[in-house]
Amino acid sequence: MTFVLTTARRPSIFENGTLTGMICMTAAMLLLPIGDTLSKLLTGYLSAVEVTAARLLAQGCCLFPLAFFMRHRLRGPMFSPIVALSGGLVMVTLTSLIWAFSVMPIATVIAIFFAEPLILTALVGPLLGERVGLRRMIAVLVGLLGVLIIIRPGGGIGLVAFLPLLAALCYAVNMIVLRKASGSRSSLTVQCGATFYACLGMIALSLGLNATGQLQPAFVDLPLWAWGVVLASGALAAISFILIAEAFRQAEAGMLAPFQYLEIIGATAAGYLVFADFPDDLTWIGIAIILSSGLYVFWREHVPANRGNLRPRRRRTRRIRSR
């Protein structure tokens, strides 16, 4: 699952750019579960840390050549502390997701991860000073209740179910970091820089765990076909990002938001076809609650009367009125 913050251009569904954006978003949301399925396959041979490192390195190998051909869209400094912070958050997000994939059905992981827009809505107030209405905050709480229904602490999946929730939290924070960084950089610049820093971080983490004996490299025993899976997972991640970036460049975010939930459909289909995993009834109830809450938040944020409420708060000076 990937969201790119950018400026909306065309509000009409009948304009060619908007249609192109919808097609790009649909394609990306159908490709992402395939990449997740490949990552889950790799966890049968590698640890979550190794899979994350391999996927990020493969993503970089595919993304940087694409960025070279799209270099006219590179704008602003690629290497800076704020981009490095984004790379660190990408590390935690992807490692948590892949670790969760290794022990949970893909659809369940993605469903919990879709609490990210709700967490982001809750964070923009204290971190960005943006106003969020009471109805949207209630929707956030209802959505988190759906997460708890899926997790069922003490009697359900277990503590490992909090991994995708950690990934959602880190991803939401990363969205705020990207919003800060996008003022002087293009989304492609940030993505390339964050991928570079994330690769360095995962290499350092892998070497550190190996030096302390907590990680035994398993790449030497990796079947030949698995190397193709590594490259394919990285390529799908890179292509998906390009498609999402193009979608948000062409169309308004509010029109694209519902298409992001196609990822859950794709994840459910991939999990069933490849691993024979299918969510149980309570998980479906939780998924329905999360999706409904997320769509409601998106809808409330794009109601014209509410857009003004997203502006940062300003201090007001009180005037003493004489009676």
Residue 237 CB coordination number (10 Å): 25
Q: Percentage of residues in the chain with pLDDT exceeding 90?
A: 24
Q: At what angle do helices 48-69 and 16-42 cross, to 10 degrees?
A: 150
Q: In a 10 Å sphere around its CB, with 0-12 CB exposed, 13-18 middle and 19+ buried, how is residue 65 labelled?
A: exposed
Nearest one of 39, 57, 14, 45 to 104, comparing CA atoms: 39
216-227 pLDDT, tens digit per residue, is: 777 777 888 889
Predicted TM-score (pTM) of the model is: 0.79
The three-state secondary structure class of 34 is helix
Q: State the Cα–Cα distance between residues 315 and 321, nearest whole angstrom.
A: 18
Q: State the Cα–Cα distance between residues 270 and 2, nearest whole angstrom.
A: 18
Nearest one of 53, 59, 153, 62 to 95, comparing CA atoms: 53
What is the mean pLDDT of the segment spanning 175-188? 80
What is the mean pLDDT of the segment spanning 99-123? 86
Residue 208 CB coordination number (10 Å): 11
What is the mean pLDDT of the segment spanning 188-207? 91
pLDDT category at 94 given cuts 50, 70, 90 is very high
231-268 pLDDT, tens digit per residue, is: 999 899 888 888 887 787 777 766 776 777 788 888 88
Domain parsing of the chain, residue ranges: 16-307
39, 55 contact by CB (below 8 A): yes
Q: State the Cα–Cα distance between residues 175 and 101, nearest whole angstrom.
A: 22
Q: Highest mean pLDDT range out of 5-19, 101-115, 129-143, 240-254?
A: 101-115
Q: State the Cα–Cα distance between residues 145 and 274, nearest whole angstrom.
A: 30
What is the mean pLDDT of the segment spanning 175-201? 86
289, 145 contact by CB (below 8 A): yes
196, 79 contact by CB (below 8 A): yes
Nearest one of 179, 207, 209, 214 to 89, comparing CA atoms: 179
2, 244 contact by CB (below 8 A): yes
319, 139 contact by CB (below 8 A): no
